[in-house]
Structure 1
Amino acid sequence: MTEMAYTKLGSTGLDVSRLCLGCMNFGSEQSWMLGDADASVDLIHAALDAGINFLDTANVYSGGESEEIVGRALDSANRDDLVVATKVYGEMRDAPNGSGLSRKHILDQCEASLDRLGTDYVDLYQIHRWDDETPVEETLAALDHLVESGRVRYIGASTTTAYRFTKALYTSDVEDYERFACMQPEYSAVARHEEANLLEVCEGEGVGVIPWSPLAGGFLTGKYRRDADPGEGTRAAASESVRSYFTEENWAVLDAVRDVADEEDATPAQVALAWLLHRDPVTAPIVGPKSEAQLRENLGALDLSLSPAQVDRVAAAKTPRYPKA
């Protein structure tokens, strides 16, 4: 049985599991989601039983349904042992102040997320995207207030440019606001553009990295084939963004991943996750299993110790570019 490993979130003292359970699948908004609240709660409990203590959701996932499901799972869990993360920014209603990072929207949505999660505090509250229409000082002041009031323990960000993120960190330092503890970028063996953008900032500033889509929407599991249409019911069949990975360069990466998997008697998904775990400054890839079998497969990545040559072989198949190529 895989023994869970833990690490610090960036330069904080917070212990998090090396894999984070992504909870976007726990809802019914899209056809590829689990669509079963009871099964979702069971899967969360299986992850907790395996030692995962880090859960990531967002207010916009299925219009709050994901947060409600996570809240149900928390009812029978030891809340003190868990690191619960959610996000704010996206549109929650079609009305003025229904989205964005204004003080009003942040404070209102934090309370709404706490209600859905059934908890008094969020361990990690993240801005889901950047808001060009709100001064960064207003956003940071609102987040700082949530930390000071005890509703939030740490703050994080997701998916922005290095310039914007650096500006936010600098503003926090100058104005004595709470500092972003982590960044949630897209990062995988086939999505490496952030190596030349956000990851340099994170490493230099002691910011934790929790990559989303570490398996590239399922592409790196090896279930898709070069010359075949994605099967009905798969995420690629329903998502153009997943099909965008279907390039010759990315197929070459997958070939390298498959070769390493054969050498290690592992699956491509396990190798792809292990490859990320070998990359600095990655803290915990966010995995999104839809079954206990997939969860067990993901956990198996923790048992893989890739050689430097294997890590380099996967990396050599693609040249990272920013912006995303």
Structure 2
Amino acid sequence: MQYNNIGNSGLKVSRLGLGCMSFGDNQRGSHSWTLDERESREILLKAFDLGINYFDTANIYSLGSSEEILGNIINKYLLREDIVISTKVYEKITDSPLSGGLSRKELFYQIDQSLKRLKTDYIDLYVIHRWDPYTPIEETMEALNDLIKLGKVRYIGASSMRAWQFIKAQYVSKMNGWSQFISMQSHYNLISREEEREMIPFCESEGFGFTPWSPLARGKLASNNIMEENTSRKESDKVQKWLYDESSSNDRTIISTLQKISTEKGLSSAQVSLAWLLSKKVVSAPIIGCTTVRQLVDNVKSVELSLSPADIVELESSYLPHNTPELS
């Protein structure tokens, strides 16, 4: 495994982060394909054995049970100081009108709930899951700064918003002397490259780490070799249809090129897809999701790979503009 810092911060993470959306009670929340604690433990411990030290979850994943599983396993089997825990906040957890968003009240409440579930005194990277149009950004950034001052959070990051919103949040913090975000976690992969227009150039210019979610397009970019089998997630994942159905015709052209290059090199599509992401200087650590140890082991091999400039040009040449429904 290789390691680097997230952007210009001092936070060092493995080149791949393990996303924990796949772990949780499948009776809680909307993900029927999640793994229970026994199944999750095998993947999490194998990830650590392979050198992954960066684990990303959210309070909304399986309504908190993803955090519970991650906390239980770290507490029982690993050393907290060897782990980077990232969790996210924004989505509604209950039907209460007070639930959700990024108000000072909600941030102070949700951090304590996440800390309890994760069985830890602090979060390494606390990420706002989405932009909150109903709370002044000054209120949100001051509250996040106070959580750092209280010792409950070490660093803060953001996810999936317009570039102007990210810039505004950083400006507000800088002008007030508050802690700034160190990272952006956006939707970015071979068939969704809209962040190359504004967000990625801004992150490159200002030294923010970039930690893409859905680097394999929820399985669409992992369709040959060991990962071509159908899974319960693929069959029931409504978000995949929401993100990719509109562009499916163009995406198939890119996927065909990906599979051709993968076959020529004797690699899996997942490995080539991740190697393409890792070739981007701005990318600190793609957040991979796995439901089997076999998928995990295959993904980790991408860290050792490098693509030629010709490979990268061929992979990128068929891309056409996409809508960005996750930002709507």
**TM-score bracket, shorter-length normalisation:** over 0.9
Aligned partners of 1:194 and 1:322 also within 8 Å: no
Deviating 4+ runs (over 6 angstroms): none
SS of 1:39 mapped into structure 2: helix
SS of 1:93 mapped into structure 2: coil
Q: Take 1:91 and 1:59, find their aligned partners in 2: how far apart are those partners?
A: 9
Return the letter of the residue paired with 1:238. Answer: S
Return the letter of the residue paired with 2:36. Answer: D
Aligned partners of 2:17 and 2:287 also within 8 Å: yes
Q: Take 2:224 and 2:33, find their aligned partners in 1: how far apart are those partners?
A: 17
Change (3 A) 1:181 1:269: same
Partner residue of 2:180? 179
Partner residue of 2:2? 5
Alignment of 1:1-325 (within 5 A): 4-27=1-24, 28=26, 29-30=29-30, 33-75=33-75, 76-222=77-223, 233-243=231-241, 244-246=243-245, 247-321=248-322, 323=324
Return the letter of the residue paired with 2:113. Answer: A
TM-score using structure 2 length: 0.92
Deviations 1:171-214 (A, max 9, x none): 11101111000000000000111111311221111110000000
Q: Take 1:240 and 1:64, find their aligned partners in 2: how far apart are those partners?
A: 20
Equivalent pairs: percent with the same residue?
42
Structure 2 unaligned residues grouped into runs of 5+: none
Deviation at 1:13, TM superposition (A): 1.2
Aligned partners of 1:100 and 1:131 also within 8 Å: yes
Aligned partners of 1:5 and 1:18 also within 8 Å: yes
Return the letter of the residue paired with 2:92. Answer: E
TM-score using structure 1 length: 0.93
Q: Take 2:256 and 2:305, find their aligned partners in 1: how far apart are those partners?
A: 18
Aligned partners of 1:195 and 1:320 also within 8 Å: no
Structure 1 unaligned residues grouped into runs of 5+: 225-229
Q: Take 2:155 and 2:214, find their aligned partners in 1: how far apart are those partners?
A: 22
SS of 1:21 mapped into structure 2: strand
Change (3 A) 1:296 1:233: closer
Q: CA RMSD in A?
A: 1.9
SS of 1:241 mapped into structure 2: helix
Aligned partners of 1:22 and 1:287 also within 8 Å: yes
Q: Take 1:324 and 1:105, find their aligned partners in 2: how far apart are those partners?
A: 26
SS of 1:221 mapped into structure 2: coil
Return the letter of the residue paired with 2:301. Answer: G
Deviation at 1:231, TM superposition (A): 8.2
Deviation at 1:30, TM superposition (A): 4.4
Q: Take 1:263 and 1:275, find their aligned partners in 2: how far apart are those partners?
A: 16
Q: Take 1:236 and 1:42, find their aligned partners in 2: how far apart are those partners?
A: 21
Aligned partners of 2:31 and 2:62 also within 8 Å: no
Deviation at 1:302, TM superposition (A): 1.0
Aligned partners of 1:193 and 1:324 also within 8 Å: no
SS of 1:211 mapped into structure 2: coil
Deviation at 1:237, TM superposition (A): 2.7
Aligned partners of 2:224 and 2:268 also within 8 Å: no
